[in-house]
Amino acid sequence: MRITKKLIVVGTGIVVLVGGGGAAAFAATAAAAPKVTAEKAMEIAHKQVPGAWVSELDHDRRGTRPDVWEIELTKGSVRYGVDVDAVTGKITDHGTKRADDDGDQDDD
């Protein structure tokens, strides 16, 4: 009977360790939330392309590289792609293409 009790205690310890690891992983994910909000990123993009409207907004987690807000703006027949660093708010990339162009190539 003592053997059974030891197995139960050891099993409970493993569950606690695994559960604690999950909580730590959740906390790390929560801490990685972008410092620059979607609204702020759109403001930054609008300063780059005044008078345009936001047609698409995505938050891109890039692993070892800085996360960015990928914003697509449309002004007339031109689409603008603007990437805003999710931590610093700096524009990391921008390009243009015609709105009726189905290709994914930027004209930069």
Determine the pLDDT at residue 68: 95
Give the pTM: 0.61
Whether 103 is covered by a domain: the verdict is: no
Task: Please tell me whether residues 24 and 70 are part of one structural domain.
Answer: no
Q: Which residues of the chain fall below pLDDT 50?
A: 1, 4-17, 26-31, 105
Whether 107 is covered by a domain: the verdict is: no
CATH classification at residue 64: 3.10.450.40
Counted domains in the chain: 2
Whether 21 is covered by a domain: the verdict is: yes
Determine the pLDDT at residue 62: 84
How confident is the model over 45-71, as pLDDT tens digits? 999 999 999 999 999 998 888 899 999
Query: Which is it for the CA torsion 36, 38, 40, 46, positive or negative?
Result: positive
Range of the domain at 10: 1-31
Determine the pLDDT at residue 44: 96
- Do 41 and 71 form a contact (C-beta atoms < 8 A)? yes
Task: Please tell me whether residues 94 and 49 are part of one structural domain.
Answer: yes
